[in-house]
Amino acid sequence: MAQRLDIELDLPPGATAFPVLALREGARERTGIILAAPGATVSKLASLSDAAHPAFDPDLAQESSLRAANPLATRPAERKEMLMLSGSMQPYVWTINGQTWGNHQPIAAKSGQRVELMFHNMSMMGHPMHLHGHVFQVVGIGNRRFAGAMRDTVYVPPMASVTIALDAGEAARWMLHCHHMPHLVSGMMTEFAVGA
């Protein structure tokens, strides 16, 4: 949820059409768009695929293979913080660092500071973590470091960790939350508080 990529495609010349599909996790439903060159024949696609689709990237193999076209400049992080993602179904409460929104401790940074945040998911649910007002780079999965994709949302699978790096932007209180709305509403939200 909310995870996206900006992709530039060069379509080959000729009357060709290319479907770009969104697949529903664990089900057969699909939707999407068709990129078509002028004069291309566009065939109707069925709204159901042949088989149910597995969970999205549970081992982060896809995430591990992505590289940024314009990565962050290389420099050491001035601030590093681990954010523990946890929660439960009974009672239905989801937390960051053991706190729900309203009882949260903001993550503090100064404008221009290089910050690394490790999302350490200790729950059995995946969390697409989204930061407002910033673009960050995925720089680690587990203990493996690499110069990954630029994002504003990154999926953190159950019992896994993902590290991001960013340069703190404009001085303001920016929301940082799970983009699975029931998790957000039940508490999995905090602030990235950037000072001047």
For each of the chain's 196 residues, which pLDDT tens digit applies? 777 767 777 777 777 888 888 888 788 999 988 888 888 888 888 999 998 888 777 889 989 999 998 999 999 999 999 999 999 999 999 999 999 999 999 999 999 999 999 999 999 999 999 999 999 999 999 999 999 999 999 999 999 999 999 999 999 999 999 999 999 999 999 999 999 9
Q: Which of 118, 131, 103, 113 is nearest to 171 (CA)?
A: 113
> Could you tell me where in the chain the CATH 2.60.40.420 domains are found?
61-195
- CATH 2.60.40.420 correct for 61-195: yes
Residue 65 parent element (H or E): helix 61-65
Q: Specify the pTM.
A: 0.84
The burial class, CB within 10 Å (0-12 / 13-18 / 19+), for 164 is buried
